[in-house]
Structure 1
């Protein structure tokens, strides 16, 4: 398999370069996949807090005619608004959020609440119970030490507010029940705490579950990557070992061809020619394995065009397989220059081989271009995929053949496509059989100097007609 970059990201300085490294960083807490979404939720919650404070202050001052230090309270609100705008601008661009940054954001909220309570009665203010929201949020979002730090800080703030605060002129009417201003404020505070916590904790838990799912997916893909590396080393070693006996067989067949007992009998010469052809195919397979492992002897990537590359892959596969009818259609009208990549040839050949095993009478290969994507559809008239296999597509050792060690073909195809930034999809045809669709970005094989400029169109007979063999 050829090495490729992980789709959707570029390796930068200090960033993990492999799936395994990224999974280890996530597992150790060095990265938080749900942190960005949780920070955005905190920003939304802060906007609601600003609106709630403005509404409460206006209601208390205008309806109940309670005198409040409005200039100082508005200054605190202005600072909170400025901090939230800065947070929105920062986290709109930056995607990685650490525990320390979430901790700092909650500290700002605690500080703003403390200043507002100081200006409006301190611990006698019924909205002092809003500290509980900060504690619960810290327990969900932060590491244990950070959560306990928030508990200690809020406890210290409450103790300080019991000693130092601006008095709030509330009438001593606690005995009036629901008609008491303090009781009404407490009920409103409880309603705010309960409603906001249910709404935001539900969304935060959803983000955390998504992060756990991402972590599990990265772990699975890292394990598959290690599995591929081990099998690649095994295949490379086997290819090296096979080189000597294949060369020996080639020499022996050449000697047999020159022997009088054989050279005078045409049927034996035909058999030797067939054996030599199969031997050359074995050598080509071995060379392909070494090429994919980066060990080709003096071979390099070949510059060609997309249609020429696809036509040659289809033609080479057709000549080496006794398929009764091979329908090849190339709908790419604008050709582009590409670099020949053996991994794509092997990947497409693997899918065609799977189709040939279940449908030797008819196979269809349709290639087309959708924007900057190359799509290759392989269809057959076999029995199709069982439902359980469609849900496990690309997992190792998932095969309908029922033999140990089988089911690695699509596993390799899926991982090569993923390495090249593409994907694979499979479905059953309504008329019988199955279709496997390979989708790759053209940037994976396009020449860098002219990725978008089309080359002159190359018309090939193999792109126009159905090919029949046998």
Structure 2
């Protein structure tokens, strides 16, 4: 049986911090870069054969072959020393890519410098770095590439060419240098921003799944408790009967006191099992229990209430109150929103629950300072936080994701005067299962109901 520890109840944003650190440790497999280098070796070898053998251009074939062979030998050494599944740290990956920059610079030096039409390939390692490494290492690799490009613009062997050596006008060479530098800055910036956003979103989704898994584990624990109470009831009843019959048969035996203790403890066990199987608030924690809408709202809000903040749940619906399964997505999503409201409220948080034949609406409002204007439009996106200087900004994102997963629509706005409000709407047909249940089990309308 799985045991829930205190760590299972931590803030999902703390867990996301761990995800962030883990992702930073080894984002790329060595095999990926080895395969890319083999492709480069094949391409460089093919170019050497075409230029030297087919076009018959004068070329320092031996020096170029040594530079290509060095990459091939390094790949073979890495394949023999490390397993294919090895993941590189950021520093290891940056050193690996730095070698590629220097190897390409050596080849370009031997084949015409920036006049070589393949000189743009020196940007490839820097672009790869922008997608997998942290910004500081990418800037360092970009500085190395810039130094190589600048050196190659001045120092290089002639471009392989028939007849008179081919030399471009110096002004044109400056244009090539400028285009490579600007291209590197643009490509690296764009690639880094896109990759960083993808990583952040991936970690945020992982945190959302983790939060939902925690809620499902709690639900499973409640279901397990109810099942255990049911299964243990029969053997415990048998024990109670046997103990009672022994007490009647033995009468004033020396073992009478022991039998009395057994009867007392058996009754206590039966009371505990009965409490587990019948207590409404425990039954609400089972995955398949059916609750009135207002009861589910209470279950979602209750773990996050604070003594110093007044909480009101006001229900005012049109027609019978919806009956719905206890959804972990709804419970955890609404719980995050109530917790956020409690954090900023001055005196009071109000949860308004409304329904009609077509729609179910829940509005959570507080009397705090409201949402900051600069983040209001982007609330619900990962890493957008309403806490100045605190948190990772995943709480609202997780709530929004879970509620939308349940079929709801969520919106954020500031109230006129003071305070923030979050409104959630579901089509009633998605939530309400009341029409499929026994009419005797359907809860009466809760119009005007208010709890404190």
Higher relative contact order (CA 8 A, sep 6+): 1
- Structure 2 length as normaliser, TM-score? 0.41
- Structure 1 length as normaliser, TM-score? 0.40
